[in-house]
Amino acid sequence: MSKPETRTFLLDFEKPLYELETRINQIRDLAQENNVDVTEQIHQLEERAVQLRQEIFGGLSPSQRLQLARHPKRPSTLDYIQAISDEWIELHGDRNSYDDPALVGGVGRLGGRPVVILGHQKGRDTKDNVARNFGMAAPGGYRKAMRLMEHANRFGMPIITFIDTPGAWAGMEAEKLGQGEAIAYNLREMFRLEVPILCTVIGEGGSGGALGIGVGDRLLMFEHSVYTVATPEACAAILWKDAGKSPQAAVALKITASDLKDLGILDQILPEPVGGAHSDPLGAAAALKEALLTNLETLNQLSGKERRDLRYQKFRRIGAFIELPA
C-alpha cells in the first residue's frame, strides 16, 4: 500500500480510514529505520484498511453522498474531457455578449467519433471557484450550451453533457439577463434535436441549473453523485426553517443514484472506485468512457425521429401519479 496523499480536505467519515493509513505508514517508516521486520503486522493492518474503506463507502447516507458529490478534489468536467477524449477544442461565447466560465463546451472525438461535449465547471480552490462562479451558470452559459448543441445537430454529432452544479446562478443580474427564459428555451429545444444526447451527473445535479443541459436520451449518474430539485439545505430551511435538518431533507428528497434508479428517472448507475471518484480519477474516467461508448452504440442504431419520440416518452413517464376517488 502506498502512502496516503497529503490532503487539505478530509470528510468526517474519511478520518478513521486516513488515521489508519497514516499509522500504517508510520509503522513502516519506524521499522525501516530500526531494521525490524513487521511485514505480517503491516499486511494485517492493510487488510483492515481495505475492509474499513469498503465498510465506510458501502454504507453512506444520502447526506454523506452529497458531501462526496461536493468534494473539492472530485473530477470535474474538464478533467473527464481530458481523460476520455481523443482530442478536444473548447469553444467560447454565446454569440451575443458573454462567455460563461461556469459552463464549458466544445468539439472533440470520443472513440474516434466526432462529438460535442459540454458541462458545468467548478473550481479547484476558492480563487478558481470564484472565477467559475462555483459552477453556477449564467444565462449566457445556457445560451452557449444551446449554440453548441445546435452545431452538433447541424453536423450530426452526438451530444454529451456533464452535470455538476448546485443550481443556476440566482443573482439579480442573472434574472435581468433572462435566466428562466434561457433554461426553459434549452428544455424545449433539446427535445427536438435529432442527434443522440447522453447526460451524466458527475457530481452535484441541482434544480433547473442541472436540467438546462439535462434533457437527453439517457441519464447516467456516478454512484456517489446526487440529483435533486433543491439542495437539502434549502429544502430544510423552507420546510422546517432550520438548515441544520438537511440530513433529514436529503433522505426525503431521494437524491441518490439508487433512489433515482428505483423511481425510473435514472437509466444507469456508474460505479466509482472504492473511496469515491476523487480517490482514482482515471478509474472513474474509464468507467464513464465505457458507458458513454456503449450507450452511443445503441442510440446510433435509431433514426432521429425514433430518438425524439423515445426522449419525449422518457420524460412523460417521470412524475406520473394516480388520482384516487374522494
Exposure of 18 in the CB half-sphere (CA atoms within 13 A): 12
Taking the CA atoms of 106, 108, 114 and 115 in sequence, report the sign of the dihedral they define. Answer: negative
pLDDT 10s digits, 72-112: 899 999 999 999 999 999 999 988 888 999 999 999 999 99
Grid coordinates given for 240: 422546517
Distance (Å, rounded) from C-alpha 66 to C-alpha 227?
9
pLDDT 10s digits, 25-69: 778 777 777 777 777 777 787 778 777 777 778 788 898 999 899
Q: How confident is the model at residue 4 (pLDDT cuts 50, 70, 90)?
A: very low
Quickly count: other Cβ atoms within 10 Å of residue 46's Cβ.
15
Grid coordinates given for 80: 473527464
Distance (Å, rounded) from C-alpha 162 to C-alpha 220?
10
Strands (E), 84-215: 87-91, 103-110, 113-120, 159-165, 197-206
Local structure of residue 256 (DSSP, 8 states): B
